[in-house]
């Protein structure tokens, strides 16, 4: 019994030895400090309309100096060719497993980024959560620029997007969501646009795509409203300028939450009417107008003002999209849901879309207007 | 020469030839001879039991005197030799031999256990004397149902072994199996119960201890009342209990002396410590060698920075540090406690600081190694803690070869191995492998006492209920 066990154990050792020597264990190793870890990939077009790839790499200098960002760039026909060309420029092997962000200049995005995204999706070491960002200007220039308060530019941009997405200033756009919106019928993808502004980077608005091609952008004012049309909206903040008659000043709503519902109706002549019902709730954080806040009736006036403002803005936003013939809100998806498959297939949505009538009906509710309703003006007599 | 000749003074003296420490007292007036080892007996006892009565009797009164207590007639040479070796005095009179038990060398007094300390609860621990140990158990377990069976092991030296159990609670199959295994031992000498365990366990090649050994009487009493049996060996302060499951090694009596919430929390802490000990360094190795993707972004920078000065691949780096820690531990264990403190300082400062500054290791590895070493000492049983510290090396090497895949292979092998093991024929991972969810409330947590109604299922007792209270 014991001899048998010993024999088996010896065999196990032999097999283990063979397996270890056969796998050639050293080759597949990716030891951390010997890697050039890609953090951000940037795509530009150079003057000859050639793809110009810039990689921001997490790299430490030789002999244990501080870990820094290193930029290497090359001209290439495709992103994979770029990888080979880039690896000539570094002493370490380039790996993609830690990519956080991919940046495309507007020029590249105008040409269509389907092929580039496809490569990201195909590589299993690249996470589907890699962000997609459009840069207003040159990507290389943005990555090269030094921001005094943020030593690591690529990380800075990544964190900036992350934070803005958490605050719901911009929609979360990553490879997975972009590819899904691109492939789905009746909705077109979006991506945030950033721009260098002095000593910092700012979110410059929302890039609108038709299929995989960039067609234009919305100004940052629409960020919040776009988020409301796309999904449930929680814990946001919104700043509204009221300029109807009787109402003046501006309102800042905090802890805003919204809920949406679409309704699709057919027109007699065959077109569609899409209605968006929006429920917005929030607290007044700041108000600079003259309406006294201690009267529920007057609050209703403010609520109506806010409703009018939001619905007007959203309708305007959809009009901009319709002009550019990109269906980023996903009206097509709503229409598709009301139609049978055959009907939808027969419909040439591209053509119908610009003719769709869009209406937005907003119902605003102000939950509270603060602890102190109004600080009375100090009388001068005392 | 005959196998077992009739007892005679000449024969016994011949047996103890060249034993200068044997005392031979002659009483020519009484025609009596006394043989004993001076250092094995209590001198006062000898005075009271033998010398005084002998001084007060005449030659013709010897017969009646020796027929009474404490004189036991013996007609077997072997028994007489053994008796003298055990500290009896042998009295030769008129071709008869009488043994008087006078055993009395001083023992180590009952002290606190050094290896298994508790914060609250009883602090006494077993000593080397089996009878002291028995008395410690009897004092805590006053019941006539506590049975003690005496056996002996060893061919050259017969050591006394006692098997204890509570009749009516224990499953007699276990007792019979244990007695059979102890009787089957044919070794010249077994000097400690931790050696005895290795002769009676089911799988001699496993690195996991298959029987619980403890120095604490309160643990032994709770094992007995839980339907397990207990083996005491003379001259050994560790007492064996069985059958044992893996999870018993993670229990401490402290769990029961404290409130059940605290007890549960500490017990869970120990299981976490178990996982940390086994896997933490291995995960470091596999991540830094293969899976750079898994590192959170903020950690990535510091990790690269600390790794960049290290000239070795992570496996060698980790093995180097692990072996250093083991060296420190072993040196600390062997040295007297006053020098042991120096080891602590040398280890803490030299290994912790200088190794990083010299660029031999990364400081994150130091944390990993130190944490897993500390975690291994959280496990109350020293034997188990040594076992899992050994298993760790196996996993580190696998992680160095195949990364996380190797780690999973290693953990699977450990689980398969544990599943195979048995203790006294019952499964080693009992409440899991024969699934007994009822037992979990006393294994993975320390449930409140109203919840602990039944004895552990591994005891296979017929007398299941231990708590009849309604709440």
Note the pLDDT tens digit of each residue in B195-209. Answer: 999 999 899 889 999
User: What is the rounded CA–CA span in Å between residue A112 and residue B303?
Assistant: 38
Indicate the pLDDT class of residue A249, thresholds 50, 70 and 90. confident
Neighboring chain B residues of A31 at a CB cutoff of 8 Å: 288-289, 307, 313-314
Q: Tell whether B281 and B174 lie within a shared domain.
A: no
User: What percent of chain A clears pLDDT 70, i.e. is strictly above it?
Assistant: 91
Among the partner residues B289, B307, B401, nearest to A20 by beta-carbon distance: B401
DSSP line for B388-410: HHHHHHHHHHHHHHHTHHHHHHH
CA distance B187 to chain A (A): 17
Give the chain A residue nearest B292 (alpha carbons): A32
User: What is the rounded CA–CA span in Å between residue B133 and residue A51?
Assistant: 84
Q: Tell whether B272 and B391 lie within a shared domain.
A: yes
Write the pLDDT tens digit of every residue in A145-201.
888 888 888 889 999 998 888 877 788 888 999 999 999 888 899 999 999 888 889
CB contact under 8 A, B304 and A100: no
pLDDT for A246 equals 66
B363/B276: higher pLDDT: B276
Lowest mean pLDDT among A238-247, B15-24, B282-291, B460-469: A238-247
Indicate the pLDDT class of residue A64, thresholds 50, 70 and 90. low
Q: What is the pTM for the complete model shown? A: 0.84
Q: Tell whether A98 and A70 lie within a shared domain.
A: yes
User: What is the rounded CA–CA span in Å between residue B233 and residue B161?
Assistant: 4
Write the pLDDT tens digit of every residue in B135-156.
999 999 999 999 999 998 988 8
Q: Tell whether B240 and B271 lie within a shared domain.
A: no
Q: Does B299 touch chain A (CB under 8 A)?
A: no
Identify whether A183 is part of a domain: yes
CB contact under 8 A, A98 and B293: yes
Q: Tell whether B229 and B166 lie within a shared domain.
A: yes
Write the pLDDT tens digit of every residue in A105-134.
999 999 888 888 888 888 888 889 999 999
Give the end of a domain, one of B209, B244, B279: B244
Q: Which of residues 306-325 of A touch B (CB under 8 A)?
A: none
Q: Does A37 touch chain B (CB under 8 A)?
A: yes
Neighboring chain B residues of A66 at a CB cutoff of 8 Å: 305
Average confidence score pLDDT of chain B: 88
Q: Tell whether B416 and B271 lie within a shared domain.
A: yes
CB contact under 8 A, B359 and A64: yes
Identify whether B211 is part of a domain: yes
Identify whether B458 is part of a domain: no
Indicate the pLDDT class of residue B2, thresholds 50, 70 and 90. very low
Identify whether A62 is part of a domain: yes
B392/A79: higher pLDDT: B392
Q: Does A95 touch chain B (CB under 8 A)?
A: yes
pLDDT for B281 equals 93
- Say if residue B302 is exposed, middle or buried (CB neighbours under 10 Å; 0-12, 13-18, 19+): middle
Identify whether B252 is part of a domain: no
Lowest mean pLDDT among A66-75, A238-247, B312-321, B382-391: A238-247
Identify whether B41 is part of a domain: yes
Cis peptide before B243 (omega within 30 of 0): yes
Q: Tell whether B396 and B355 lie within a shared domain.
A: yes
Identify whether B15 is part of a domain: yes
Indicate the pLDDT class of residue A226, thresholds 50, 70 and 90. confident
Q: How many domains does chain B have?
A: 3
Helix orientation angle between B382-402 and B363-376, rounded to the nearest 10 degrees: 150
Among the partner residues A31, A37, A127, nearest to B314 by beta-carbon distance: A31
- Cα separations in angstroms, B330 against A135, B161, B321, B353, B389: 61, 31, 14, 21, 12
Neighboring chain A residues of B285 at a CB cutoff of 8 Å: none
Is the pLDDT reported for residue B325 higher than 80? yes
Q: Does B350 touch chain A (CB under 8 A)?
A: no
Q: Does A68 touch chain B (CB under 8 A)?
A: no
Identify whether A377 is part of a domain: no
Backbone φ, ψ for residue B239 (5° rounding): -115, 140
Angle of CA points B150, B220, B124, to nearest 5°: 105
CB contact under 8 A, A67 and B305: yes
Write the pLDDT tens digit of every residue in B66-122.
887 788 888 888 888 888 888 888 888 877 888 888 887 777 888 888 888 888 889
Give the chain B residue nearest A59 (alpha carbons): B304
pLDDT for B467 equals 85
Identify whether B434 is part of a domain: no
Give the chain A residue nearest B309 (alpha carbons): A64
Q: Does A1 touch chain B (CB under 8 A)?
A: no
Is the pLDDT reported for residue A135 higher than 90? yes
Write the pLDDT tens digit of every residue in A3-60.
777 788 888 888 777 766 655 555 577 888 888 888 899 999 888 888 889 888 887 6
Q: Tell whether A90 and A51 lie within a shared domain.
A: yes
Q: Tell whether B227 and B264 lie within a shared domain.
A: no
Identify whether A38 is part of a domain: yes
Number of CB atoms found within 10 A of residue A164's CB: 19
Q: Tell whether B69 and B193 lie within a shared domain.
A: no
CA distance B348 to chain A (A): 24
Q: Tell whether A203 and A227 lie within a shared domain.
A: no
Number of H helices, E strands in chain B: 19, 12
B62 in Cβ contact with B30 (< 8 Å): yes
Long-range contacts from B199-205, C-beta under 8 angstroms, 24+ separation: B199/B153, B201/B423, B202/B421, B202/B422, B202/B423, B202/B424, B202/B425, B203/B420, B203/B421, B203/B422, B204/A2, B205/A2, B205/A5, B205/A6, B205/A9
Q: Tell whether A333 and A193 lie within a shared domain.
A: no
Helix (H) or strand (E) holding A346: helix A341-346
Give the chain A residue nearest B297 (alpha carbons): A98
Domain that holds residue A242: 221-370
CB contact under 8 A, A97 and B309: no
Q: Tell whether A289 and A154 lie within a shared domain.
A: no
Neighboring chain A residues of B397 at a CB cutoff of 8 Å: none
Six token digits for residue A161:
């997007």
Q: Which of residues 413-452 of B touch A (CB under 8 A)?
A: none
Identify whether A2 is part of a domain: no
CA distance B235 to chain A (A): 30
What single-letter DSSP state applies at residue A55? E
Q: Tell whether B409 and B271 lie within a shared domain.
A: yes
Lowest mean pLDDT among A249-253, A363-367, B43-47: A249-253
Is the pLDDT reported for residue A382 higher than 50? no
Cis peptide before B70 (omega within 30 of 0): yes
Give the chain B residue nearest A6 (alpha carbons): B205
Neighboring chain A residues of B303 at a CB cutoff of 8 Å: 32
User: What percent of chain B clears pLDDT 90, i.e. is strictly above it?
Assistant: 41
Q: Which residues does A122 contact at the CB level (< 8 Å), separation at least 6?
A: none
Q: Tell whether B306 and B275 lie within a shared domain.
A: yes
Identify whether A213 is part of a domain: yes
**B221 Rama sector, left if φ>0, alpha if ψ -120 to 50, beta otherwise:** alpha
Identify whether A323 is part of a domain: yes
Q: Does A30 touch chain B (CB under 8 A)?
A: yes
Q: Does B184 touch chain A (CB under 8 A)?
A: no
Helix orientation angle between B314-334 and B260-289, rounded to the nearest 10 degrees: 140
Average confidence score pLDDT of chain A: 83
Q: Tell whether B321 and B235 lie within a shared domain.
A: no
Give the end of a domain, one of A218, A234, A264: A218
Q: Tell whether A70 and A112 lie within a shared domain.
A: yes
Indicate the pLDDT class of residue B171, thresholds 50, 70 and 90. very high
pLDDT for B1 equals 42
Among the partner residues B304, B314, B400, nearest to A58 by beta-carbon distance: B304
Give the end of a domain, one of B189, B211, B244: B244
Q: Tell whether A210 and A226 lie within a shared domain.
A: no
Among the partner residues B292, B309, B400, nearest to A35 by beta-carbon distance: B292
CATH number at residue A349: 3.30.300.210
B238/B53: higher pLDDT: B238
Residue with tokens 């988020």: A227
Q: Tell whether A163 and A175 lie within a shared domain.
A: yes
Q: Tell whether A323 and A246 lie within a shared domain.
A: yes
Q: Give me the count of residues in chain A.
A: 382
Q: Does B186 touch chain A (CB under 8 A)?
A: no
Q: Does B402 touch chain A (CB under 8 A)?
A: yes
| Chain B interface disruption, residue of A24, A32, A123, A163, most B CBs within 10 A | A32
User: What is the rounded CA–CA span in Å between residue A159 and residue A128?
Assistant: 17
Q: Does B172 touch chain A (CB under 8 A)?
A: no
Q: How many domains does chain A have?
A: 2
| Chain B interface disruption, residue of A4, A8, A31, A57, most B CBs within 10 A | A31
Give the chain B residue nearest A32 (alpha carbons): B288
Q: Does A135 touch chain B (CB under 8 A)?
A: no
Domain that holds residue B271: 259-426
Q: Tell whether B44 and B17 lie within a shared domain.
A: yes
User: What percent of chain A clears pLDDT 90, i.e. is strictly above it?
Assistant: 15
Q: Tell whether A66 and A213 lie within a shared domain.
A: yes
Q: Does B38 touch chain A (CB under 8 A)?
A: no
pLDDT for A379 equals 62
pLDDT for A225 equals 85
Identify whether B239 is part of a domain: yes
CA distance B319 to chain A (A): 16
Q: Does B293 touch chain A (CB under 8 A)?
A: yes
Give the end of a domain, one of A184, A218, A252: A218
Q: Which residues does A97 contact at the CB level (< 8 Å), separation at least 6?
A: A37, A125, A126, A127, B292, B293
Neighboring chain A residues of B402 at a CB cutoff of 8 Å: 23, 25
Among the partner residues B290, B297, B400, nearest to A100 by beta-carbon distance: B297
CB contact under 8 A, A9 and B309: no
Give the end of a domain, one of A218, A249, A279: A218
Give the chain B residue nearest A58 (alpha carbons): B301
Torsion of CA A153, A155, A161, A162, to 10 degrees: -160
Chain A to chain B Cβ contacts (< 8 Å): 71
CB contact under 8 A, A100 and B359: no
Q: Tell whether A188 and A82 lie within a shared domain.
A: yes
CA distance A25 to chain B (A): 6
Identify whether A324 is part of a domain: yes
Identify whether B162 is part of a domain: yes
- Say if residue A202 is exposed, middle or buried (CB neighbours under 10 Å; 0-12, 13-18, 19+): middle
Give the chain A residue nearest B402 (alpha carbons): A25
pLDDT for A23 equals 54
- Cα separations in angstroms, A40 against A36, A43, A239, B419: 12, 10, 33, 48
Q: Tell whether A106 and A48 lie within a shared domain.
A: yes
pLDDT for B229 equals 93
User: What is the rounded CA–CA span in Å between residue B380 and residue B271?
Assistant: 11
A89 SS3 class: coil
Indicate the pLDDT class of residue B410, thresholds 50, 70 and 90. very high
């Amino acid at each position: 019994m014991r001899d048998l066990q010993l024999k088996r154990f010896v065999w196990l050792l032999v097999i283990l030895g063979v397996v270890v020597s056969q796998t050639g264990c050293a080759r597949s190793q990716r030891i951390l400090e010997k890697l050039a870890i890609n953090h951000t990939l940037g795509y530009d077009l150079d003057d000859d309309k050639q793809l110009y790839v810039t990689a921001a790499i997490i790299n430490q200098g030789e002999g244990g100096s501080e870990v820094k960002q290193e930029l290497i760039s090359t001209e290439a026909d495709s992103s994979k060719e770029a990888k080979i060309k880039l690896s000539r420029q570094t002493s370490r092997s380039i790996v993609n497993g830690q990519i956080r962000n991919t940046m495309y200049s507007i020029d590249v995005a105008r040409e269509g980024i389907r092929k580039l995204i496809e490569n990201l999706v195909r590589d299993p070491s690249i996470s589907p959560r890699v962000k997609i960002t459009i840069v207003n200007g040159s990507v290389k220039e943005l990555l090269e620029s030094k921001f005094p308060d943020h030593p690591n530019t690529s990380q800075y941009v990544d964190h900036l997007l992350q934070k803005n997405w958490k605050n719901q200033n911009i929609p979360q756009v990553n490879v997975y969501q972009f590819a899904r919106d691109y492939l789905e019928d009746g909705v077109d993808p979006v991506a945030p646009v950033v721009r260098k502004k002095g000593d910092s980077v700012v979110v410059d608005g929302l890039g609108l795509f038709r299929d995989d091609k960039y067609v234009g952008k919305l100004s940052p004012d629409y960020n919040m409203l776009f988020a409301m049309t796309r999904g449930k909206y929680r814990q946001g903040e919104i700043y509204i300028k009221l300029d109807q008659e009787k109402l003046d000043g501006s309102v800042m709503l905090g802890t805003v939450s919204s809920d949406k519902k679409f309704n699709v109706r057919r027109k007699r002549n065959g077109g569609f009417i899409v209605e968006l019902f929006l429920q917005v709730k929030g607290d007044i954080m700041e108000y600079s107008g003259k309406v006294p806040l201690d009267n529920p009736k007057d609050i209703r006036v403010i609520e109506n003002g806010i409703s009018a403002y939001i619905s007007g803005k959203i309708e305007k936003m959809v009009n901009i999209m319709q002009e550019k013939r990109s269906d980023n809100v996903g009206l097509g998806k709503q229409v598709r849901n009301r139609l049978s498959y055959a009907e939808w297939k027969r419909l040439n949505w591209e053509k119908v879309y610009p003719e769709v009538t869009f209406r937005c009906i907003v119902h605003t509710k102000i939950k509270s207007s603060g602890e102190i309703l109004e600080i009375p003006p100090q009388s001068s007599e005392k | 020469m005959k196998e077992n000749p009739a007892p005679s003074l000449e024969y016994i003296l011949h047996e103890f030839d060249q034993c200068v420490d044997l005392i031979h007292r002659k009483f020519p007036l009484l025609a009596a001879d006394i043989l004993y080892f001076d250092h094995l007996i209590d001198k006062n006892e000898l005075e009271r039991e033998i010398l005084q009565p002998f001084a007060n009797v005449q030659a013709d009164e010897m017969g009646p005197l020796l027929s009474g207590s404490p004189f036991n007639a013996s007609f077997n040479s072997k028994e007489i030799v053994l008796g003298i070796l055990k500290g009896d005095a042998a009295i030769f009179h008129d071709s008869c031999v009488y043994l008087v038990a006078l055993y009395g060398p001083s023992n180590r007094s009952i002290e606190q256990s050094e290896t298994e300390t508790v914060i609250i609860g009883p602090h006494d621990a077993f000593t080397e004397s089996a009878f002291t140990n028995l008395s410690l158990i009897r004092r805590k377990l006053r019941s006539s149902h506590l049975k003690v069976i005496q056996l002996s092991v060893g061919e050259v030296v017969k050591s006394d072994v006692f098997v204890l159990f509570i009749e009516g609670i224990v499953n007699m199959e276990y007792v019979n199996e244990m007695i059979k295994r102890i009787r089957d031992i044919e070794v010249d000498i077994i000097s400690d119960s931790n050696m005895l365990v290795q002769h009676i366990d089911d799988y001699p090649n496993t690195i996991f201890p298959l029987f619980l050994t403890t120095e604490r009487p309160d643990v032994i009493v709770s094992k007995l009342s839980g339907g397990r049996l207990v083996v005491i060996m003379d001259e050994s302060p560790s007492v064996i209990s069985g059958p044992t499951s893996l999870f018993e090694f993670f229990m401490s009596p402290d769990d029961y002396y404290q409130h059940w919430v605290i007890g549960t929390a500490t017990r869970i802490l120990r299981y976490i410590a178990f996982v940390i000990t086994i896997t933490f360094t291995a995960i470091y190795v596999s991540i830094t060698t293969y899976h750079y993707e898994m590192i959170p972004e903020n950690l990535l920078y510091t990790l690269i920075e600390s790794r960049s000065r290290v000239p070795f691949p992570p496996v060698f780096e980790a093995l180097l540090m692990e072996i250093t820690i083991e060296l420190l531990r072993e040196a600390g264990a062997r040295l007297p406690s006053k020098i042991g403190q120096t080891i602590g300082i040398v280890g803490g400062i030299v290994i912790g600081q200088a190794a990083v500054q010299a660029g031999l290791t990364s400081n994150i590895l130091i944390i990993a190694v130190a944490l897993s070493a500390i975690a291994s000492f959280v496990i109350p049983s020293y034997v188990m803690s040594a076992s899992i510290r050994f298993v760790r090396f196996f996993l580190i090497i696998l992680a160095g070869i195949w990364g996380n895949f190797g780690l999973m292979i290693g953990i699977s092998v450990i689980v398969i191995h544990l599943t195979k093991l048995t203790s006294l024929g019952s499964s080693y991972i009992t409440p899991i492998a024969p699934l007994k969810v009822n037992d979990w409330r006393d294994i993975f947590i320390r449930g409140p006492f109203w919840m602990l109604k039944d004895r552990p299922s591994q005891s296979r007792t017929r007398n299941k209920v231990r708590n009849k209270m309604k709440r």
